[in-house]
Amino acid sequence: CAMGKKAADPQRAEVKRLQVLLTEACKQKAVDRVLEVFKEWESAQVILAPNCFAQALSVLAACDTGAENGDAARTERFGHAKRIFARALADVRDWRGVGESIYTLMVRLASRAGDPLAAMQYLEQMRQPPVSIRPKLRTFIPILEACASRGLSDEAEALYRDEIFSTCRPAEDTAIWTTDDEDRLWQCVFALRLRALSRALAAGDDRREGGGEPRRVEDGLRRLEAILDDVRAVCPQLRADSGLPEALQEAFGMREWRVEQAQIGEDARCPRTSTVLQPMHCSDEDVRGLLSLVERLAIEDASPKALDNWKDFKAWLARTDHEWDTVIDGANVGHHNQNFAQGAFSHAQIEEVIEQCNQAGRRRVALVLRERWLQPELDFSVPSSKRKKRRLPQLGRPDSEATGDVAMLDSCPAATAAASSAVARSAASGAGPPAAGATAAAADGRPQAATAQDQPRRSAAESTEAVPEEELSEAQRQVAILDKDWRQRGILVVSPPSIDDDWVAMYIAVAMCLRGVSDVQLVTNDEFRDHFWRMRQPTAFRTWRERHLTRYHVLSERPEPCDGEEDEFRPQQIQSAQLFPPPLYSCCVQRSLDGSCWHFPVRSREVAAPGEEAMRVASSNPPKCSDWLVAWDPRRATQGGA
């Protein structure tokens, strides 16, 4: 044992020495020094840590860029990389944590050396044991770069069709990207596909059987249309830093099209082509799917009390025949601009927004509020720091077409069994919540309003004894007056106590779309980022948001502090309120009906100006674009819609 320990000590010392030398060489990005250390490493017959291989390869890859590195230099560095990689195959026993890095670097080095076949072989090895790693989108980029630089459009399309989209696309109908980096990488993929096609057409590369100049051009145009359709489906907006705008200009230039920047006004008409851009709407199937997702937010992993509340709410909604065209997120409006010392939930702001809706011709309004905000004796002051909510997990992937909704409704109380079964039948048939006008009609034949009597009962926890009016302050009496007025006007929808009122507002708005109500708008400044994430980023939600969310801004004067009256809040003096409905057109890639022009929104990186923060679109919905890239065929007149 003593002899073995003495023999091991020099070996450990040699390993440590080589690791220190390699680390210093890598820090300096000294390729020659790295190769010298690797030769010593080979001669010493010692085994270094697996991350040492990734370190050495990363230096070779980092120095393999720039005009000064010609094809011969890249080929030479790839040869050195293959020696290092062969040693890694012999020495590494556990590939966890280093396998992806090592193979990704080999793919990059092989691609830049002009050997895409070797790069594809590394990709295949990466999928096999002992590594068994699924390549990520960034791993394919170097191969596409090699195809683009050499005009290998056939190879680029085969790689996209057989490898990239099948490997990196999501398994469900969600947005292709979930992070800003993925968005940039996907746009880089399309830019490289376009550049490979442009290089192939420019070089007159025709390797298809029976080819010829007309056939080559015709095939190239078909391929360009296919790539453009992919861009439209996957990347609704362009990033200025992705290289995609420049690649599009080059590709359209090969067709002798004109390409210019333009700004689209509020009338949705393009000043370059006179094309009127169109709004994009969800299909009925997408809306039904979105309604199901909102319900799953409410019922998945919910408590028995929350399930009972949701059953009662759905049964009530099924019994009503209301066709609201406007749903107001009351909590969001009441808390608007209250992040200051004397901030308090503002019922006056809600009333002002309701008035603005009426002035805009929206008189079928539903105001969603919790009962807690309707009890004037409670404290409405807003904490100076917002309490952080517990982040709920993402919705589980459904194992079958059967939803928890049907099973949940089977246990409804007998009093609501008929309405609940109607909801279940309606959901199964895809018709949305039924408008049961017969059961909701009053004695005089008119539909009942959405009053407290028409809704699920208030829970015991929320039921409090009414404070005599003479004991209320002036501000509290105003709250009571507004509460009574909203109930009498039939616009108040009290959210169930155990259910997030966001879900109630969204569910009603989406359900109204399924009932055929025209131009339903959900009035809120909520970005719904948490709900979007929990739904697993569905594209339908993104599209629905853009067409059915109205932003608002309330301008008011902050009240002066009350000396010695900490418990007394003073209402703000409302000066004005403004609504910001969706634009007439959707800010996404659009193709004209006759195919003679394309419009590409280019995402602006400018910071929103003061006062425009309420209109800023959240990360769950792409930012509004002011700049558009317009490509059109000057030989064809373009008129009408996109």
Predicted confidence at residue 394, as pLDDT, reads 84
Q: Are β-strands 627-632 and 258-262 bridged in parallel, bridged antiparallel, or unpaired?
A: antiparallel
Q: What is the pLDDT of residue 562?
A: 58
Give the least confident one: 245-259, 294-308, 570-584: 570-584
Q: Are strands 275-276 and 640-641 parallel, antiparallel or unpaired?
A: parallel
pLDDT digits (tens, 9 = 90+) for 147-157: 999 999 999 99
Beta bridge partners of 549: 522
Position 49 pLDDT exceeds 70: yes
> What letter would DSSP give residue 288?
H
Q: Which of 548, 541, 550 is nearest to 621 (CA)?
A: 541
Across 207-216, 230-239, 395-404, 440-449, least confident range: 440-449
Which pLDDT score is estimated for 185? 92
Burial class of residue 231 in the structure, from the number of CB atoms within 10 Å of its CB (0-12 exposed, 13-18 middle, 19+ buried): buried
Confidence band of 481 (pLDDT split at 50, 70, 90): very high
Contact in structure between 631 and 256 (CB atoms under 8 Å): no
Q: Which amino acid is at 60?
A: L
Distance set, CA 302 to CA 88, 358, 392, 509, 559 (Å) = 50, 37, 11, 22, 40
151 by DSSP, 3-state: which? coil
CB 547 within 8 A of CB 639: no
| Local structure of 344: helix, strand or coil | strand
Q: Give yes or no for residue 485 having a pLDDT over 90.
A: yes
Render pLDDT for 413-426 as a digit per residue (tens, 0 to 9): 333 333 333 333 33
Distance (Å, whole) CA 295 – CA 492: 21
Higher local confidence (pLDDT), 401 or 196: 196
Angle between helices 137-150 and 116-127 (to 10 degrees): 170
Q: How is residue 210 annotated by DSSP?
A: T
Query: What is the pLDDT of the chain when averaged over all its residues?
Result: 80
Distance CA 230, CA 194 (A): 11
Contacts of 141 (CB under 8 A, 6+ apart): 185, 188, 189, 192
**Alpha-helix runs per DSSP H in 131-179:** 137-150, 153-159, 165-168
Among 472, 258, 474, CA closest to 377: 472
| Dist. CA 16–CA 119, nearest whole Å | 33
Note the pLDDT of residue 641.
56
609 conformational bin, left if phi > 0, alpha if psi -120 to 50, beta if neither: beta
Higher pLDDT, 416 or 635: 635
pLDDT given for residue 152 in this prediction: 93
pLDDT reported for residue 321? 80
What is the average per-residue pLDDT within 183-206?
Answer: 89
Asked whether the predicted pLDDT for residue 288 surpasses 70, the reply is: yes
Task: Quote the pTM value.
Answer: 0.76
Alpha-carbon span 363 to 324, nearest angstrom: 8
The mean pLDDT value for 605-618 works out to: 38
Task: State residue 627 phi and psi, 5-degree precision.
Answer: -105, 135
Domains identified in the chain and CATH numbers: 10-135 (1.25.40.10), 280-377+471-557+572-582 (3.40.50.11980)
- pLDDT band of residue 64 (cuts 50, 70, 90) is low
Closest CA to 469 of 484, 455, 457, 458: 484
